[in-house]
């Protein structure tokens, strides 16, 4: 099994609680899962729980990584009796088990005991749920997260006896493509706070988020009206991102359709059909790729270019800020983008009226729909108070524990 330095630090840790604070692409989740597979193989009868905010997040992250580890390692496959896809459960020949769970509340978390616990993306999980799970864990707790801002790990765990902090970033992951590294490092020239968090794994205070007017919903209401499908083209370095925007009672309802690298226009057409989109439903796409739009049109799709202009980014943001936006729970990539999409800052840390051009592929698709199909004077729009753009100087980084 190919491993990184993060695997070594987590595997050999003697602490009861091992906290992995890391930037994007540091490989922390992958390394911890490798550790858990090794522990399950070495000792029979272990119960290991991997906990996430909800099942869509686990499926898009930890479960996908776990299946990748499992399928790429023949000795590990030989050690595992079965993987139950419906229950998300690895059963080992020696009687050990790895389960993937999410919990509604602290009462729900009281059920069951375990030997090892992994809290994945811990800043999406409440202290109450964590505490109930940790109290019922015998040997060790692993935690990972991106340090957007301080939360209960910083307030209640770090600095306590038996707690080890490991800070990592993409430089500790030998398996990251150079193009990805360059994109992460380029944040330094755009926003130092984002660079500190995602390129160096240091605790930040990401303020100035552009969209605070959204919430998670379970599904699109049956009587919601489809406005349009938004499509942002990508290929190697950036994903092709697609979502659908609905409207009901003056609110927007948004569902992520797909978010994937390496798609040709033929692949995009196939994806649209497989996801049940009708050729009669309008698709609004990035006008910067007229050739792709024309190819999809010749394949039978009703597709239009976004009406971009000099102030189209600011205008589309202004339009979207006037609605209450409901994002389906399964739209994990869109939710992640909304949690990172913020205003740029100048050298003094003051926000300026321009968004950071990063982690915004689905947001761009959403903006295209806003430009063509929604408007400031549209009837039924629920006007909300726009968020105050506050300046910030940043936080002192946690330097102890850096690899």
- Specify burial of residue 117 (Cβ count, 10 A radius: 0-12, 13-18, 19+): buried
Average pLDDT over residues 4-25: 96
Residue 92 vs residue 396, higher pLDDT: 92
| Sequence-separated (6 or more) residues with CB below 8 Å from residue 339 | 148, 209
Reading the block at residue 326, the tokens are 């409901």
CATH 3.40.50.300 domain extents, the chain: 5-200
What pLDDT sits at residue 189? 86
Q: Look up the CATH architecture of domain 214-373.
A: 2-Layer Sandwich (3.30)
> Considering only 1-5, 145-149, 256-260, 388-392, which range has the smallest mean pLDDT?
388-392
Among 284, 252, 222, residue whose Cα is nearest residue 381? 252
Given CA atoms 23, 24, 25, 30 in this order, what sign does their dihedral have? positive
Q: Report, as an integer, the average pLDDT of 353-377.
A: 88
Separation between Cα atoms, residue 4 and residue 64, nearest integer Å? 19
pLDDT confidence of residue 369: 97
Least confident of 33-47, 246-260, 334-348: 334-348
First to last CA, the chain: 21
Q: What confidence category does residue 208 fall into, taking pLDDT thresholds of 50, 70 and 90?
A: confident
Q: What Å distances lie between residue 123 and 52, 119, 130, 150, CA to CA?
A: 10, 9, 10, 9
Q: Where in the chain is the domain with CATH 3.30.420.280?
A: 214-373
CATH superfamily name and code, 5-200: P-loop containing nucleotide triphosphate hydrolases (3.40.50.300)
CB atoms within 10 A of CB 224: 18
Q: Using pLDDT thresholds of 50, 70 and 90, give the confidence band for residue 218.
A: confident
Structure tokens at 285: 């796409």
Residues across the chain: 403
């Amino acid at each position: 099994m190919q491993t990184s330095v993060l695997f070594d630090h987590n595997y050999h840790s003697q602490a009861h609680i091992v906290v992995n604070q890391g930037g994007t692409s540091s490989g922390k989740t992958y390394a911890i899962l490798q550790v858990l597979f090794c522990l399950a193989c070495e000792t029979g009868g272990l119960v290991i729980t991997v906990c996430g905010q909800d099942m869509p997040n686990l499926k898009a992250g930890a479960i996908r990584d776990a299946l990748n580890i499992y399928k790429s390692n023949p000795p590990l496959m030989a050690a595992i009796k079965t993987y139950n896809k419906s229950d998300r459960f690895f059963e080992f020949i020696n009687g050990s088990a790895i389960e993937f769970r999410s919990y509604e509340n602290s009462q729900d978390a009281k059920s069951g005991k375990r030997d090892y616990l992994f809290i994945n993306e811990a800043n999406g999980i409440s202290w109450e749920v964590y505490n109930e799970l940790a109290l019922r864990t015998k040997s060790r707790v692993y935690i990972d997260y991106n340090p957007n801002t301080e939360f209960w790990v910083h307030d209640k765990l770090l600095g306590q006896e038996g707690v080890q902090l490991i800070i990592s970033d993409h430089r500790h992951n030998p398996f990251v493509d150079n193009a990805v590294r360059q994109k992460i490092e380029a944040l330094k020239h755009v926003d130092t706070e984002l660079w500190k968090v995602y390129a160096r794994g240091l605790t930040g205070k990401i303020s100035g988020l552009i969209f605070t007017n959204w919430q998670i919903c379970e599904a699109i209401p049956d009587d919601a009206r489809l406005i349009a499908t938004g499509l942002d083209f990508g290929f190697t370095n950036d994903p092709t991102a697609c979502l659908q925007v609905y409207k009901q009672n003056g609110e927007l309802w948004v569902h992520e359709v797909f978010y994937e690298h390496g798609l040709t226009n033929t692949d995009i057409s196939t994806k649209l059909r497989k996801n049940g989109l009708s050729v009669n439903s309008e698709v609004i796409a990035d006008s910067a790729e007229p050739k792709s739009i024309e190819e999809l049109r010749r394949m039978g799709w009703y597709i239009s270019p976004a009406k971009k202009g000099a102030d189209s980014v600011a205008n589309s943001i202004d339009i979207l800020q006037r609605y209450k936006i409901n994002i389906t729970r399964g739209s994990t990539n869109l939710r992640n983008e909304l949690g990172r999409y913020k205003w740029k800052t100048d050298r003094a840390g003051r926000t300026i009226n321009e968004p950071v051009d990063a982690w915004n592929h689905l947001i761009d698709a959403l903006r295209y729909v806003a430009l063509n199909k929604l408007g400031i004077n549209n009837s039924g729009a629920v006007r909300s108070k726009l968020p105050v753009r506050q300046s910030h100087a940043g936080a002192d980084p946690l330097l102890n524990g850096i690899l």
